Amino acid sequence: MNFSEFMTITAKTVDAALDRYLPPETADPKVIHASMRYSVFAGGKRIRPALTLAAAKAVGGDQARALPAACAIELIHTYSLIHDDLPAMDNDDMRRGKPTNHKVFGEDIAILAGDALFTHALHLLVQVGRDTGISPSVLLTVVEEVTKACGSSGLIGGQMMDLMAEGKSLVEEDLVRIHSAKTGALFRVAVRAGAMLGGGSDEDLAVLTAYAENFGLAFQITDDILDVTGDQAVIGKLVGSDARNRKTTYATLFGIPEARRKAEQACSEALTALDRLGKEADFLRHAVQFVALREY
Amino acid sequence: MNFSEFMTITAKTVDAALDRYLPPETADPKVIHASMRYSVFAGGKRIRPALTLAAAKAVGGDQARALPAACAIELIHTYSLIHDDLPAMDNDDMRRGKPTNHKVFGEDIAILAGDALFTHALHLLVQVGRDTGISPSVLLTVVEEVTKACGSSGLIGGQMMDLMAEGKSLVEEDLVRIHSAKTGALFRVAVRAGAMLGGGSDEDLAVLTAYAENFGLAFQITDDILDVTGDQAVIGKLVGSDARNRKTTYATLFGIPEARRKAEQACSEALTALDRLGKEADFLRHAVQFVALREY
């Protein structure tokens, strides 16, 4: 199975699980569930949950035990997109080729749908996780790490720094700090959660953490490059938005060739980190190629 | 110690713990922490955490073990107020005699501060809870119940139904459904978490759940009455807002005398529920008098 086949199968598994785990649209209050589902099933590539499942496999674990955490992380990713897109934040009208949540449901429902997705993510992580037979102690560690990654030193802190940085000129150190919080923290916990739920050793966890941090960095740099060079029809949102918002990115700070070099360097370090893992880590290796070569 | 002394001591204990548990304002990004702390220390009465601590005591448990959960529930309450006050939601400028979070920090930061308070609530519940020596299994049950209470069948669902109900005429059944989700669910889990962390039996849990549901109902009806009869200077927000927003409440649906009768009935059922508990439950009994007689 090559990586693209793995991604297709994983996305199907994750989508089916998300459909089972989310409240149905027929449950009251219907509109909040419709709004949650609208953004969850709006064409996400499911990269984060794929990393969670691949990390569980890489340490020789059972992917099924990591599935609730994988889905929780995808719901958290969706919640952060809904809130970031709000008029009071980045004010984006389109996401993945579709109108953003608040354009369809209104700001009030979009705020609540984001809140509800985050809440539901943690609920299913615990509830389904227990049913899956994961030890309470491991599950608590995962909840602790996930909530840490989402807090004011992670996801939320990164968005906060990003809002404050608009129109300011940044140096590389600032960029690293913003991105390691805003994008990096969730990639990191996606991989670590998979490794923990798969029963990985402390040494496994250390190398996979190094992998995840470099993967996240490469992903972010590629994202910045695509905002300049990308094809709008493929990406599904306006390109050039960073320049219009006067945002400093890896592309604007270093220029495209040097940004590419930095992305390649991070990819190479991500691969090196996996050296002591065997064939079971191949999907994590392929994921690096995928992120380096992606066009959307 | 009478109830008012208990509330004073409890509020001090909870405030000191919240100050320890929240990131300091000196930590980056400073403004998000300033915003979180602004609303947390804006004069909340700490009724929910007091119930958590009192429930732990009522079942003969150690209140210190319930303190992280008590604080988590207060942070969740604060998060829900910040988001409910937003312009896209209830659009309130004042809360507890002070400008609402978004009036001081802007909508973007207010949304993120709410998100961060909820995130931090769950993080501290798990992290400090473990350090306090609570069994992982009990802690997971508390996280599961707290996230359930905050989701689309609890807090968020109640706010959603409340938004949809504005300007519509409701019957008592609708009111009960909205309030048991919007206000009741958090009171319920505040009491249940205290009872579970205090080591209560299933029977304890059952009677305390009945207590909490009736307490929450009495609290809500009193809140509706105070919106008509209250003194703005004492309550710290505009009175009459329900009438202006064309909201159906217990006061508008039944009139003040009948609403009072219903509140008294709920108080009486809350007290009856405690019959089989001893003197340790006295603070829960006094809390009922407090809610029935409160003027703010």
Q: What is the pLDDT of residues A155-167, one digit of tens each?
A: 999 999 999 998 8
Flag if B29 and A120 touch (Cβ within 8 Å): no
Tokens of B166: 């504005």
pLDDT score, position A121: 98
Res A296: pLDDT: 58
Q: Where are the domains of chain B?
A: 3-293
- Residues (pLDDT < 50) of chain B are none
Beta bridge partners of B98: B95
Q: Which value, in Å, is the radius of gyration of the alpha carbons in chain A?
A: 18
Please provide residue A184's backbone torsions phi and psi, each rounded to the nearest 5 degrees.
Answer: -65, -40
Question: Residue B259 carries which side chain, given as an amino acid letter?
Answer: A
Contact assignment for A115 to B139 by CB distance below 8 Å: no
| Per-residue pLDDT at A23 | 98
Determine the Cα–Cα distance for residues B181 and B150; give it in Å rounded to an integer: 9
- Nearest by CB to residue A160, choosing from B32, B135, B163, is B32
Strand (E) positions, B22-102? 94-95, 98-99
Q: Do A147 and B33 count as a contact with CB atoms less than 8 A apart? A: no
* CA of residue B129 relative to chain centroid, distance: 20
Q: Nearest-CA distance from A176 to chain B in Å? A: 14
A144 neighbourhood in chain B, CB within 8 Å:
123, 126-127, 130
**Mean of the pLDDT values across residues A266-291?**
94
**Tokens 């709006």 label which residue?**
A42
Please list every residue in chain B whose beta carbon sits closer than 8 Å to the beta carbon of residue A32. 152, 156-157, 160
d(CA A109, CA A97): 20
Which distant-in-sequence residues (6+ apart) come within 8 Å of B263 by Cβ?
B217, B218, B221, B222, B225, B250, B292
Q: What is the pLDDT of residue B2?
A: 77
What per-residue string of b and e applies to A202-229 under the rule 16 or more CB within 10 Å gives b?
A: eebbebbbbbbbbbbbbbbbbbbbbbbe
Is residue B200 helix, strand or coil?
coil
As a whole number of angstroms, the distance between CA B4 and CA A180 comes to 48
The residues, ordered by sequence, that sit 6+ positions from A16 with a Cβ below 8 Å of its Cβ are: none
Q: Quick check: A44 and A66 in contact, CB under 8 A?
A: no
Q: Indicate yes or no: CB of A122 within 8 angstroms of CB of B120.
A: no
Average model confidence (pLDDT) across chain A: 94
Does A111 sit within 8 Å of B127, measured CB to CB?
no
The angle, 0 to 180 degrees and rounded to 10, between the axes of the packed helices A282-293 and A202-229 is: 20
Work out the average pLDDT over A273-286: 96
Predicted local distance difference test score (pLDDT) of residue B296: 58
Residue A122: list chain B partners with CB under 8 A: 122, 143, 147
More confident residue, A240 or B38: B38
Say what the pLDDT of residue A295 is: 67
- Which chain B residues contact residue A140 at CB under 8 A? 126, 130, 136, 139-140
pLDDT of residue B295: 67
Q: What percent of chain A has pLDDT over 90?
A: 86
- A3-293 is classed CATH 1.10.600.10: yes
Contact A32 B153 (CB under 8 A): no
Q: Mind listing the pLDDT tens digit for each residue in A178-216?
A: 999 999 999 999 999 999 999 999 999 999 999 999 999
Which whole number is the average pLDDT over A111-136? 97
pLDDT of residue B232: 66
For residue A276, count other CB atoms closer than 10 A to its CB. 9
pLDDT tens column, A11-36: 999 999 999 999 999 999 999 999 99
Do the Cβ atoms of B126 and A147 come within 8 Å? yes
Mutate to test the interface with A, among B79, B86, B109, B122 (most CBs of A within 10 A): B122
Asked if the model's pLDDT at residue A127 lies above 90, the reply is yes
Q: A interface mutation test: which of B21, B127, B160 has the most A CBs within 10 A?
A: B160
Residue A232's pLDDT band (boundaries 50, 70, 90)?
Answer: low
Residue A287 neighbours by CB under 8 Å, 6+ apart: A3, A47, A50, A51, A54, A215
Residue with token string 């208990």: B6
Q: What is the pLDDT of residue B233?
A: 64
The per-residue pLDDT for A41 is 98
For an interface test with B, which of A128, A147, A159 has the most B Cβ atoms less than 10 Å from its Cβ?
Answer: A147
CA distance A184 to chain B (A): 17
Predicted pLDDT of residue B4: 84
With beta carbons under 8 A apart, name residues in chain A contacting B107. Answer: 88
Q: What residues in B contact A150, CB-CB < 8 Å?
A: 119
Q: For A130, name the nearest residue in chain B, comparing CA atoms only.
A: B140
| Chain Cα centroid distance, residue A282 | 20
Which residues in chain A have Cβ-Cβ distances shorter than 8 Å to B126?
Answer: 140, 143-144, 147
Q: What is the pLDDT of residue A231?
A: 72
Alpha carbon of B84: minimum distance to chain A alpha carbons (Å): 9
- Let me know: does B66 contact B194? Beta carbons within 8 Å: yes
Residue A6: per-residue pLDDT: 86
If you average pLDDT over residues A136-147, what whole number do you get? Answer: 98
According to the model, what pLDDT value does residue A236 have?
A: 62
